[in-house]
A and B are shown apart, each in its own frame.
Chain A
Amino acid sequence: MDLGLTSDQEAIREIFASFFADRAGPDHARAAQPLGFDPEGWARLGETGAPGMGVPVDAGGGGASLADLVVVAEEAGANVSPLPLVDHTVTARLLAGLDAVGDDVVSGAAVAGLAVRPATGGLARSVPAGAVAEVLVALEDHRLVVVRGAAPGEAQPNHADMPIAHRSVQDGEVLAEGPEAVAAHARAVDEWRALTGSLLVGATRMAIKMAVDYVSERHQFGRPVGSFQAVQHGLADLPGLCDGARLLVAKTAWAGDRPGEGVADMGDNEVTDFAALAAMALVFAGEAALRATDRSLHYHGGYGFAEEYDIQLYYRRVRGWAQVLDDPARECRRLAGLLLNDREVD
């Protein structure tokens, strides 16, 4: 057991913490509204090798593990970066697993995206990176299809300023069919859950930091508002939620790097199954992020509601990440199926 980062991961963390802060931070996120995508930042990110980092080496990528990828994702989330790195990464890994990943996706020259929910009637609705994905993968009727071509470049107006768009997958090329297609999509969505969970952890961490900084500076009644116990106690539960979410995400990544070995025994609180952990990680990290951004915005007083302050960006973005896949309550019911092992889950 080792709950620390490896020295390599520590180095990765430092590199990407400064990359996102300099090249793709809250100011860039604000400038990228309403599309939620900064092409300039994406091009710079391509130079770091990040778009292909999670692709296996024999497919031309960096061969990074999920455990490494969550470290990068946390820093992207901490900066509400307007870059579809998570969607791109899981889609690239999915394509690589089917021997269908091109150099353009590995290099990031083409943005890849995943319809996380199955498409129906040839239409994938509310795809998280749908507005910018030039390579789009979707599952419909047990067929996994890929659509290549120019992205619409325009998002549906949305709460989170994410590049959400509806996409036709009618003329997609079939990558796989039947159980293989379903399993490949399910695995990619579980990876999406884990990495999106990590985006949420990063945003949670930063929301707490912004709150602490603000209440330490802001004075009312002749003292910092952070000296009031009501304010302190409204913040004090958040680090535990943040750390708990980070540990759960890391455990999920650890399990995802060892497929097929896990168990899900809720009666003994022994859960090492990747799919069960991925569901847990997204739900819990989402809950932590909602709480932390809610408290942080509140303790900014009126300024928290002002466009100018960053906390509103975090507040809106985390709500997008937490529910673009589904209502967390429905995610929980799906998880119950995995834990109780009493019904088919698809």
Chain B
Amino acid sequence: MDFALSDRAAVFRADVKAFLAEQVTDEVIGAMHESGTFNDRGLNGALADAGLLAGAVPGYGDRDPVELYILFNELEKAGAPYDGLAVTMLVAGVVHSVGTDFHRTEVLEKLITGRHNCCLGYSEPDHGSDVAAITTRAVRDGDGWVIDGRKMWTTMAHESDWVLLLTRTDPDVPKHQGLTMFLVHMDTPGIEVQPVATMATERTNATFFDAVRVGDQWRLGEVNGGWSVMGVALALERGVMGGTNPAVPLLRHVRAWAETAPSPDGGTMIDDPLLRERLARTAIANQVGQLLTLRAAWVAATGGLPGVEGSMAKIFASEAYQQVVGWFQQMAGAEGLLGFGADGAAGNGWIDYDARHAPVTTIYGGTTEINRNNIAERHLGLPRTR
């Protein structure tokens, strides 16, 4: 095995690092946690202008998935607002792989300017893990379609130009065979977005569709072929687009805190043997998270579909993150409870923030249990349980 980046990838990484060092200021990071919207169009646009974005569309342009991984890994490590960008580039990748020329001109070309966003409309109030059971209806009406229903957890809907919308077009066939995917412009009459607050700083939404009319040209993929479009989207999502190194910024914050925080046992916390052990264990988990993600990217770069590898990376990184956050929050004692803006907050509130954010990482993007089912069936070859 060779763990050195290609010269090209190394140059790309250096460019991304230099860009982020300049652009991801404390103000940018502060604004994201203030607003709850982990998306910064100024930053996205600047990335595009610097020529760093077009390569981030999976399969598009001449960047390989290792470089795609580099971009999102560097954004994640920098603590930058990148959730909106990741989803947007994911949709760009889906459009690139299954869209029409119309979709490419109308959507893809705009997305890669960094000045437009997309969101994902899969989950519904009553259907999450079993996403193929969704009930939002799309009914043919002349040349177009009429859509009625509700979506839940449509993160970035309030920032987005389009939603990638999973609908039911045939309720009378097995659930996977009656789904159709659309790209729907968020300005279309009949769409309403309501904010949903979370226990961390991030905001998400509930989205309502009431007799929303769309032309057939906005259909993505075949009628009743929505599940295969989902397959493309899920394969692109898993692993490479951030989310597998959340404990890297945490480790920086913990270290900064520990180097000055007095220990109740005397000295500073950085000399506490248990803290040192746990810093090392976290650094190990961060390396493993990186390697499992790189492996998924490498599988994709060499022509494979890293479904199982992505599940492994996601389970490992999110479970490890939750464990280490719990350690450090407790080790900081009362100060580990204090949040942004509090006087004396451990890590200036970042430890509290990570402890609030961590629970969602084993839920969104496919829960740990759904990923375990995937590995048990497709990797270990055990019987289906559903």
Contact = CB atoms under 8 A, between A and B. Distances in A.
A326 interface: no
Nearest to B253: A267
A1 B379 CA distance: 24
B295 A333 contact: no
A83 B324 CA distance: 38
Nearest to A255: B3
Interface in B155-188: none
B252 A267 contact: yes
A244 B385 contact: no
A182 interface: no
B5 A1 contact: yes
Contact of A284 (B288, B311, B373, B375): B288
A1 B291 CA distance: 12
Interface majority SS on B: helix, strand, loop or mixed?
Answer: helix
B279 A336 contact: yes
Contact of A239 (B278, B287, B375): B375
Interface stretch (A55-63, A185-193, A229-237, A303-311): A229-237
B183 to A, nearest CB: 34
A250 B375 contact: no
Contacts of A268: 77, 248
A248 interface: yes
A283 B376 CA distance: 26
B248 A269 contact: yes
B325 to A, nearest CB: 16
B236 to A, nearest CB: 20
Interface string B282-296: 011011101110110
A215 interface: yes
Given A280-B287, A342-B270, A336 B280 contact: yes
B357 interface: no
A184 to B, nearest CB: 25
B383 A233 contact: no
A328 to B, nearest CB: 9
Contacts of B141: none
A335 interface: yes
Interface in B101-125: none
A340 B279 contact: yes
A229 B385 contact: yes
B375 A240 contact: yes
A241 B290 contact: no
A280 B283 contact: yes
Contacts of B92: none
A266 B251 contact: yes
B291 to A, nearest CB: 4
Interface in A207-224: 208, 212, 215-216, 224
B9 interface: yes
Given A244-B288, A267-B252, A284-B284, A333 B245 contact: no
Interface stretch (A2-10, A36-44, A103-111, A152-160): A2-10
How many of chain A's residues touch chain B, expressed as a range?
35 or more
Contact of A236 (B284, B313, B375): B375
Contact of B312 (A232, A239, A271, A339): A239
A255 B287 CA distance: 14
A251 interface: yes
Nearest to B5: A1
B316 A241 contact: yes
B369 interface: yes
Interface string A321-346: 00000000100110111011010000
Given A236-B376, A333-B273, A333-B280, A1 B286 contact: no
Nearest to A279: B280
Given A3-B294, A216-B382, A227-B385, A232 B287 contact: no
Contact of B286 (A5, A208, A227, A269): A269
A254 interface: yes
Contact of B316 (A229, A240, A251, A271): A240
A251 B292 contact: no
A245 B295 CA distance: 12
Contacts of B127: none
B303 interface: no
Given A216-B382, A240-B292, A340-B279, A3 B248 contact: no
Interface string B372-386: 110110011111010
B273 to A, nearest CB: 6
A332 B280 contact: yes
B277 A336 contact: yes
B4 A1 contact: yes
B304 to A, nearest CB: 11
B376 to A, nearest CB: 4
Contacts of B3: 1, 250-251, 254-255, 272
A243 interface: yes
Contacts of A339: 279-280, 283
B76 to A, nearest CB: 10
B369 A233 contact: yes
B315 interface: yes
B298 A247 contact: no
Which of B66, B375, B381 has the largest number of chain A CB atoms within 10 A?
B375
Contacts of B288: 244-245, 247-248, 284
B316 A4 contact: no
A267 B251 contact: yes
B2 interface: yes
Contacts of A342: 270
Contacts of A267: 248, 251-252, 255
Nearest to A230: B385
Contact of B319 (A233, A237, A255): A237
17 contacts: A3-B298, A212-B381, A232-B373, A232-B380, A233-B369, A237-B375, A240-B316, A243-B295, A244-B316, A247-B291, A251-B287, A255-B3, A267-B255, A268-B248, A280-B284, A284-B284, A340-B276
Given A237-B372, A329-B277, A340-B276, 5 more contacts: A243-B312, A244-B291, A244-B316, A337-B276, A340-B279
Interface of A: 1-5, 67, 208, 212, 215-216, 224, 226-229, 232-233, 235-237, 239-241, 243-245, 247-248, 250-251, 254-255, 266-269, 271-272, 277, 279-280, 283-284, 329, 332-333, 335-337, 339-340, 342
Smallest CB-CB A-B distances: 3 pairs: A240-B312, A236-B372, A336-B276
